[in-house]
Amino acid sequence: MKKPILIIFAFLALTSQAQVKKWTLSECVAYALENNISVKQSELDIKVAQIGKKDAIGNFLPSLSASTSYGWNIGLSQDPITFSAVTATSKTLSGGISSNITLYDGLRNLNQLYRSNLEIVARQYQLDKMKDDISLLVANSFLQILFNKESLKVLEAQQAISEQQLNRTQDLVDAGSLPKGDLLEVQATLASQEQQIVNAENAIQLSKITLAQILLIEDYQNFDTADIDYIAPEPDILKQSPNAIIATAKETRYEIKIAEANSELAAYDVKIAKGALQPTIAGFYSFSSNYFTSELFPTPDFSMQMSDNKRHNFGLQLNIPIFNGWAASNNVGRNKVNLERSKLQLKQANLDLETAVYQAYNDAKGALKAYQASQKTLAARQEAFNYSKERYNVGLLNAFDFSQSQNQFESAQSDVLRAKYDYIFKLKVLEFYFGIPITNFN
């Protein structure tokens, strides 16, 4: 009875493992951009900017309000017919509507509308930059997982070689052809490799958790990435000059666009502040009427009294600012300072971008040379290891020297992997400045 149950549990476990999703880089980037909290906050900033635009449009529209009141007066009041003072209890119902519209305000409303449109664009640039930064972060974390997985494969392959050597050494020691010290040396090497494998497995798990946290995925245990063996791409981007990459970056990178938008926003702030120094002209209109009744007079006709008492009031109002404690002029001065600061920030953004591109260019070149050098080293270590293996198998090399050769070969393999993924990422960063999406591989 127990055996069928165990078979069922084993089948369910295998089925569960088979259903674990293997995330590709494109899927990770897309998921991160959709779910990242910072991205969502930037999207909310865009919504706020869009509401600000509605405010700016609303400033051009006339205001409209209505009011009404109903009250009692006990004692001295004014007779609405004779306008003489009487003592009585009276009731008054009044109501009206009023409207105001700004005709001229130093172009502040117009400049505020232009500024609100630019604010939406600036917020979109900030969102796009954040998406770029997150894409780079995801790509780096994704490649780290691949590197850790490849490192584990190297260690497992070396462990398989050591196990073969352990069996062969055991036979030779039993036959008296090799001293027992050789067997102990191989066993020590194998134990060290087992420890390295445990560390490598932990590194894989930690790197998966890191990426899962970036993606806001809580099921760490079942999160995994697709096992893709990326080929080191051709360094076509390095055929471009740094100046050509910088020119493209200045046209496409959001760091520059954000700084340019901020400078334009500051310029509109100056215009809006200057508008407060100019006169304003507003139009107004109001309509009102009232109804009056008192115990001294018969109840009057409501509609007739409301018609007789109606009043219209309309006109223009001119407001000329003369002196307000220098508040308006000081506000202009502050905004001019902010404008100069934004211009300096734009210059700094251009300098920072040039520095970043040159740094990325040199990093990519250096990573390529390191990768090529590591491949040459690996080829030499491979030959040396094969030679040591042949000598060890015929008893011309002791276990310690063979272990040293094996360790150097293993180290060379790890160096190649490390240099490969370092080169891939740094090349992608450089391509990113050239407008090539981070997910474009091979």
**CATH number of the structural domain spanning residue 53:** 1.20.1600.10
Residues 180 and 89 in one domain: no
For residue 181, what are the CA distances in angstroms to 47, 67, 194?
A: 74, 104, 20
E strands, 236-335, in order? 280-294, 311-319
Please tell me the distance from the alpha carbon of residue 309 to that of residue 298, in angstroms, as a whole number: 18
Residue 3 in any domain: the answer is: no
Q: What angle do CA 192, 193, 199 make, to 5 degrees?
A: 95
Residue 297: the pLDDT is: 66
pLDDT cut 70: percent of the chain above it:
92
Query: Mind listing the pLDDT tens digit for each residue in 2-12?
Result: 455 445 444 44
Please tell me the distance from the alpha carbon of residue 265 to that of residue 119, in angstroms, as a whole number: 7
Residue 66 in any domain: the answer is: no
Q: What angle do CA 399, 404, 409 make, to 5 degrees?
A: 125
Residue 6 in any domain: the answer is: no
Residue 399 in any domain: the answer is: yes
pTM over 0.75: yes
Question: 373 lies in which domain range?
Answer: 22-59+102-277+321-433
Mean pLDDT across 165-179: 78
Residues 184 and 75 in one domain: no
Q: Look at the chain and report how many structural domains it folds into.
A: 2
Residues 129 and 253 in one domain: yes
- Shortest CA distance to 117 belongs to which of 57, 53, 28? 53
Residues 95 and 165 in one domain: no
Residue 1: the pLDDT is: 46
Average pLDDT, the chain: 87
Residues 213 and 303 in one domain: no
Mean pLDDT across 299-307: 78
Please tell me the distance from the alpha carbon of residue 354 to that of residue 249, in angstroms, as a whole number: 9
Residue 442 in any domain: the answer is: no
Contacts of 97 (CB under 8 A, 6+ apart): 64, 65, 66, 67, 286, 287, 288
Residues 84 and 183 in one domain: no
pLDDT band with cut points at 50, 70 and 90 for residue 390? confident
Assess whether pLDDT exceeds 50 at residue 15: no
Residue 374 in any domain: the answer is: yes
Residues 352 and 402 in one domain: yes
Residues 191 and 229 in one domain: yes
Residues 54 and 94 in one domain: no
Please tell me the distance from the alpha carbon of residue 201 to that of residue 148, in angstroms, as a whole number: 8
Are the beta carbons of 232 and 79 closer than 8 angstroms? no
Residues 260 and 130 in one domain: yes
The dihedrals phi and psi of 315, each to the nearest 5 degrees, come to: 165, -170
E strands, 306-415, in order? 311-319
Residues 43 and 141 in one domain: yes
Query: Mind listing the pLDDT tens digit for each residue in 40-73?
Result: 999 999 999 999 999 999 999 999 999 999 888 8
Q: What angle do CA 148, 153, 154 make, to 5 degrees?
A: 95
